[in-house]
Chain A
Amino acid sequence: MDGTGKGGAMIEIAGLEVVFASRGDRVRAVDGIELAVAEREAFGLVGESGSGKSTVLRALCGLAPVSGGRATIAGLPPPRRRDPAFARRVQMVFQDPFSSLHPRHTIDRTLAEPLVIHRLGDRRERDRQVEAALTDVGLDPGFRFRYPHQLSGGQRQRVAVARALMLEPQVLLLDEPTSALDASVQAEVLNLLSRLRRERGLTFLMVSHDFAVIDHMCDRVAVMQGGRIVETLDHAALARRQVREDYTRRLLEASSAHAPLALQEEGGA
């Protein structure tokens, strides 16, 4: 199944505008952006709060209104309401694993639910898939009958990733997937996401405020400000700090306060 639009791009955004209107105020959250993400590419959107980066993701999957332009994934426009065909292609992982899992459903129910909704497999087959999914995200199958409150933040985010992958989508939309996690747990979840992308040939569109995280995960990164893309950079350009725009430079400069220091090797004076 090819499923990509013309030109081979998995995600295509052209002239996208998202306008929210409330009490006479019109807020232009996304103000005309263009981007194309190839199949199996990992593409990042980085920016500060209010830059419109999350709104782009939400518009792609029908959670924010498309006021102008086009946005498609695998040739599919954002679904108006629940659309099983879209859900099988595209899944989303959210920032906060504390609010994105149903607190009164067991992990088993959370993971089996997409299969039930899409009428995939019988109970035995679903059981097998739930166990396989847990193992695949590095959790013991013993977690199946626990509730979210019995899990740590990192374990919950692993469950959220497992849930997103139950229908074997081609595309994952990742909205700050590790910013609620401790640094050491973030490393584990990022490693997990990279491995799953490699193994399954997934296409990622990832949003983060953290320049280091987004650069580590993505082939190309678009810097957003005020609903627009300021510039798009690849990993090599970032490594050499080949930056055109002042805003990007300011953002990189401010981010460097969080950059790790080089450790002296043990035994070295």
Chain B
Amino acid sequence: MSALLEVEDLRVAFDTPAGVVEAVRGLSFTLGRERLGIVGESGSGKTMTGRAILRLVQPPGRVSARRLAFDGQELLTLPERRLRALRGRRLAMVMQDPKYSLNPVMSVGRQLTEGLRRRERLSRAEARRRALAMLEAVQIRDPERVYRAFPHELSGGMGQRVMIAMMLIPEPDLLIADEPTSALDVTVEAEVLKILDGLVRERGLGLIFISHDLPLVSRFCDRVLVMYAGRVVEELKAAELERARHPYTRGLLRCLPRVGGPRGDLATLTRDPAWAEQGAE
């Protein structure tokens, strides 16, 4: 498996009046054309990891790594212009809420074709054809209507499909999806995940799925990294989640209620300060 992304000792630090706060503390992994889940609770550093890979961390945040390479190219030292070209074309990110990621005053069609027309200098008609095809690929039933619509005229699930379509039009090699379905209803979520899964399989892209939801991620991904306090505390094959060893991973699964489950108190998690100190072996 050729490595699409190599991450070695990734760190994200913020200088605050109270001192340096490290959001990500020495993360390492390699990603092939597979589906990798990064799971953790709020403050675990999972979102910062995704942003750091795309070099989207704003000052006062600082990103450092021994190696952060996409397809062999070192991202941290790449000139901004070349990075921007990579980001548009080969690296893409889908965020949680389409309401905040789409331009509210631009029609969906214009947002979908803007990049194509600028980067690939396609004619208006050709760009439109490609955009409509992609809207169909994310299973939008009436692509012509959605193409003409403005974001506020779309439901959450529709908006998220548009976001995914937009990210996939340039046919990226790596897609980072940060809680792509958390703002959606469960029945819509199932459809969006199915679409994402189909696209990942057909187009053979690498996917990093960032989420707080360990059961969901383990059903969707090949491999899962569990993050706690900026470190990976456990790495698992998704199919072997039930063999999780780390008390944090086990605690995350135990504290969840289930339909028809026993009454009585839910298990709670007692956080051991040692978890923050040692990462996975």
Q: Which A residues have a C-beta under 8 Å from some C-beta of B?
A: 48-49, 153, 182-188, 190-191, 194, 209, 211-213, 215-216, 235, 238-241, 250-264, 266
Do the beta carbons of A252 and B266 come within 8 Å of each other? no
How many residues of B are counted as interface, with CB atoms below 8 angstroms from the partner's CB atoms? 40
Q: Inside 8 A of A255's CB, which chain B residues have their CB?
A: 186, 259
B residues 176-199 near A (Cβ < 8 Å) are: 185-190, 193
Extra 8 A-B pairs, beta carbons < 8 Å, given A212-B259, A258-B216: A48-B185, A48-B187, A187-B256, A215-B260, A216-B266, A261-B218, A261-B242, A263-B244
A182 and B42 contact, Cβ closer than 8 Å, known pairs A239-B260, A264-B242: yes
Interface string of B215-247 (1 = CB under 8 A from A): 110110000000000000000000001111100
> Taking the complex as formed, is B119 at the interface, i.e. its CB lies under 8 A from any CB of chain A?
no
Instruction: Determine if A49 and B257 form an interchain contact, defined as CB atoms under 8 angstroms apart.
Output: no
Q: Is the CB of A184 within 8 A of B242?
A: no
- Whole-angstrom CA separation of A212 from B186 in the bound complex: 12
**Is the Cβ of A257 less than 8 Å from the Cβ of B268?**
no
Minimum Cβ distance to chain A for residue B234 (Å): 13
Give complex CA distance A183, B212 in Å: 8
Partner of B254, one of A216, A250, A252, A260: A260
Are the C-beta atoms of B260 and A241 separated by less than 8 Å? yes
Give the chain A neighbours of B258 by CB distance below 8 A: 212, 216, 259-260
Cα-based distance from A266 to B242 in the complex (angstroms): 10
Q: Contact mask B250-281 → A, CB, 8 Å, 1/0?
A: 11111111111101011111000000000000
Taken together as a complex, chains A and B put the C-alpha atoms of A254 and B219 apart, in Å, by 12
B252 contact set on A, CB distance < 8 A: 183-184
A183–B188 alpha-carbon span in the complex (Å): 21
**Interface, chain B (partner A; CB < 8 A):** 41-42, 156, 185-190, 193, 212-216, 218-219, 241-245, 250-261, 263, 265-269
Please state if A257 and B244 are interface contacts (CB–CB under 8 Å). no
Which residues on the A side are within 8 Å of B255 (C-beta)?
183-184, 186-187
Are A263 and B215 neighbours in the complex by a CB distance under 8 Å?
Answer: no
Residues in A with CB closer than 8 Å to B189 are 254, 257
Docked CA distance A44–B243 (Å): 34
Cα-based distance from A10 to B164 in the complex (angstroms): 47
How close is A212's CB to chain B, nearest CB, in angstroms? 5
In the bound assembly, the distance between CA atoms of A211 and B216 in angstroms comes to: 15
Q: Which residues of A contact B241 (CB under 8 A)?
A: 261
Expressed in whole angstroms, the Cα–Cα distance for A48 and B242 within the complex equals 29
For B243, list chain A residues within 8 Å (CB).
Answer: 264
Among B185, B215, B259, which residue has its beta carbon within 8 angstroms of that of A238?
Answer: B259
Once bound together, how far apart are the Cα atoms of A250 and B252, in whole Å?
Answer: 26
CB distance from A188 to the nearest CB of B (A): 5
Q: Are B257 and A213 in contact (CB under 8 A)?
A: yes
**In the complex, A48→B189 CA distance in Å?**
11
The answer, among B156, B256, B269, for a CB contact under 8 Å with A49, is B156
Known: A183-B41, A209-B186, A251-B186. A216 touches B257 (CB 8 A): yes
In contact, A259 and B259 (Cβ under 8 angstroms): yes
- Most chain-A Cβ atoms within 10 A of its Cβ — which of B193, B212, B257? B257
CB distance from B252 to the nearest CB of A (A): 6
The answer for the CA separation of A258 and B212 in the assembled complex, in Å, is 11
Provide the bound-state CA to CA distance between A63 and B200, in Å. Answer: 45
Known contacts: A48-B187, A187-B266, A211-B259. The answer to whether A263 contacts B253 by CB under 8 A is: yes
Asked whether, in the complex, the Cβ of B253 is within 8 Å of the Cβ of A215, the reply is no
A238 to B259 Cα, complex, angstroms: 7
With the chains together, A264 CA to B242 CA distance in Å?
A: 6
Assess whether B185 is in contact with A259, with CB atoms less than 8 Å apart.
no
Compute how far the CA of A238 lies from the CA of B256 in the bound complex, rounded to whole angstroms: 17
Q: Can you list 17 A-B contacts with CB-CB less than 8 angstroms, sorted by A residue number? A: A183-B41, A187-B255, A187-B257, A187-B268, A191-B265, A191-B266, A209-B185, A215-B261, A216-B261, A254-B186, A254-B189, A257-B186, A257-B216, A258-B256, A260-B214, A263-B242, A264-B243
B77 to chain A, nearest CB (A): 36
Q: How distant is the Cα of A69 from the Cα of B42 in the complex, in angstroms?
A: 43
CB of B215 within 8 A of CB of A261, answer yes
What residues of B have a CB within 8 angstroms of the CB of A191 in the complex?
265-266, 268
A263 touches B268 (CB 8 A): no
CB of A219, distance to nearest CB on chain B (Å)? 10
Tell whether A48 pairs with B186 under 8 Å between CB atoms, given A187-B266, A262-B242: yes
Q: Which residues of A contact B261 (CB under 8 A)?
A: 212, 215-216, 239
Complex CA gap A251/B265 in Å reads 25
A65 CA to B244 CA, complexed, in Å: 50
Once A182-B41, A182-B212 are accepted as A-B contacts, the answer to whether A260 and B256 lie under 8 Å apart by CB is yes
Q: Are A184 and B41 in contact (CB under 8 A)?
A: yes
A197-B41 Cα distance, complex, nearest whole Å: 28
Closest chain B residue to A190, Cβ basis: B266
* Chain B: CB-nearest residue to A261: B242
Return A109 CB to nearest CB of chain B, in Å. Answer: 26
Q: A216-B263, A260-B258, A264-B243 are in contact. Are A187 and B269 (CB under 8 A)?
A: yes
Query: In the bound complex, what is the Cα–Cα distance between A215 and B242 (angstroms)?
Result: 24
State whether A215 touches B41 (Cβ < 8 A): no
